[in-house]
A = this chain, B = another copy of it.
Amino acid sequence: ASHNLLLLPGDGIGPEIMEEVKKVISWFNANGGTDFTTEEGLVGGSAYDAHGQSISEEDMAKAMSADAVIFGAVGGPKWDDVPYDVRPEAGLLRLRKDMELFANLRPAICYPALADASSLKKDVIEGLDILIVRELTGGVYFGEPKEITDLGNGQKRGVDTQVYDTYEIERISKVAFELARTRNNKVCSMEKRNVMKSGVLWNEVVTQTHKNGFEDVTLEHMLADAGGMQLVRWPKQFDVIVTDNLFGDMLSDVAAMLTGSLGMLPSASLGAPDAKTGKRKALYEPVHGSAPDIAGTGAANPIAMIASFGMALRYSFEMVEAADLLDKAIANTLDKGLRTKDIAAGGETTVNTTEMGEAIIAELDAL
């Protein structure tokens, strides 16, 4: 069957790392029995530069009908002063919201070959494999009112609203419980119920959902600030962490940095299965950002982007063997000592973006 991918490279290093993904897609079409067709669009600052919007209606329509969206990264100082509604991030947020991608899966894995690249002690992070399940279409990201008002007397007021409804918390906790069953069967839910009413509701609904058919999974609750601490102290205590949009943003970034492998970490953003076809809308993107400071220098690490396509193989197309093959090709490349600059600890061969992409293709050939 033919599958349609929409590629949205975005800004900064986005286009450079997307080039390497294209090679991987071609490889699978030529050697892996897949039939991916690709289209390309603009998002973020590059879309704004082209037509004054952070994503065009045409590209939005393509995203809505694609079998999966492969997304690079957006933003950069160039667009610091563009109006709020058309800032680069607005394109990404609109994709998440309109495609209803409520479940953001962010694995934080420590690649054995990279255990030394972390700022944490080796025994603390070696073998680390946790999955953060972040709610992605609710909370303070989208709640209204969200505004700055002029109060007079030189005073302004900035307001954002954190809102969660029962069904939003229920569906994300189900995803977390289901994923935990395929892993170590443990979920830790994080909120600030001691300060936030949305946290009280979050805690209540997760607890209730657990009782309704997921009691085989171990459930723990932790305050989000304590959770941040525990991630730094002993991250291996966690299996799956489920949390809201803003806490998920903070905690998944901390978790990613723990591994020392930020340039390595992919993510998947999934919608609900369609009632008729069972298919989920999906967007795949690296956890890292657009890194404008290194754009164009060849220093970008394409692995997180390539691994994001790997997550698409796994979650959108159920091509588990192909996904495993790609993961293995990445691991082999690292085992051979190839490193982009961000993960070089000394003593290995430093390569640029293209060389890393081609080395992974060579490993695919060899496997």
Residues of B within 8 A of A199 (CB): 158, 160
When distances are taken between beta carbons in the complex, the residues of chain B under 8 Å from A280 are none
How many residues on A have C-beta within 8 angstroms of the other chain's C-beta atoms?
60
The answer to whether A158 touches B148 (Cβ under 8 A) is: no
Please state if B253 and A140 are interface contacts (CB–CB under 8 Å).
no
A2 within 8 A of B: no
Instruction: Specify which chain B residues have a CB less than 8 angstroms from the CB of A229 in the assembled complex.
Output: 253-254, 256-257, 262
> CB-CB < 8 A to A254: which residues of B?
228-229, 231-232, 254
What B residues does A160 contact at CB under 8 A? 161-162, 196-199
Residue of B nearest to A88 (CB): B194
The interface residues of chain B lying within 8 Å CB-to-CB of A141 are 195
A231 vs B251: C-alpha distance when bound (angstroms): 12
Q: Is A187 an interface residue (CB 8 A)?
A: no
Taking A119-B121, A119-B233, A254-B229 as contacts, is the C-beta distance between A158 and B84 under 8 angstroms? Answer: no
- This chain's copy number in the assembly: 2
Decide if A89 is an interface residue (CB 8 Å cutoff). yes
A154 contacts B by Cβ under 8 Å: yes
A225 on interface, CB distance cutoff 8 Å: yes
Kindly state the separation between the CA atoms of A159 and B143 in the bound complex, as whole angstroms: 9
User: Which one, B120, B197, B247, contacts A119 given CB within 8 A?
Assistant: B120
Closest chain B residue, CB of each to CB of A225:
B253
Could you tell me which residues of chain A, from 278 to 333, have a CB within 8 Å of some CB in chain B? Answer: 289
Give the complex CA separation of A140 and B224 in angstroms. Answer: 14
Residue in contact with A253 in the complex, picked from B157, B201, B228, B257, CB distance below 8 Å: B228
Q: Which residues of B contact A165 (CB under 8 A)?
A: 151, 155-158
- What chain B residues lie within 8 Å of A140 (beta carbons)? 140, 162, 195-196
Bound form: Cα–Cα A147–B121 in Å = 43
Task: Give bound CA distance, A158 to B253, whole Å.
Answer: 25
Q: Given the complex of chains A and B, what is the CA–CA distance between A366 and B89 in angstroms? A: 60
Q: Which of A241-268 contact B (CB under 8 A)?
A: 246-247, 249-250, 253-254, 256-258, 262
1/0 per position for A62-95, CB-CB distance to B under 8 A?
0000000000000100000000100101000100
Q: How far is the CA of A120 from the CA of B234 in the complex (A)?
A: 11
Q: How close is A293's CB to chain B, nearest CB, in angstroms?
A: 12
Would you call A225 and B250 a contact (CB within 8 A)?
Answer: yes
Question: Is the beta-carbon distance between B249 and A225 smaller than 8 angstroms?
Answer: yes
- State the Cβ distance, A104 to closest chain B Cβ, in Å: 13
The answer to whether B119 and A158 touch across the interface, beta carbons within 8 angstroms, is no
Give the complex CA separation of A195 and B160 in angstroms. 9
- Given the contacts A84-B200, A200-B84, A89 and B195 also touching, CB distance less than 8 Å: yes
> In the bound complex, how far is the Cα of B160 from the Cα of A234, in angstroms?
31
A50 at interface by CB-CB < 8 Å? no
Additional 9 contacts, C-beta under 8 A, given A146-B197, A157-B201: A75-B194, A140-B140, A140-B196, A148-B200, A155-B165, A158-B200, A159-B163, A226-B253, A232-B258
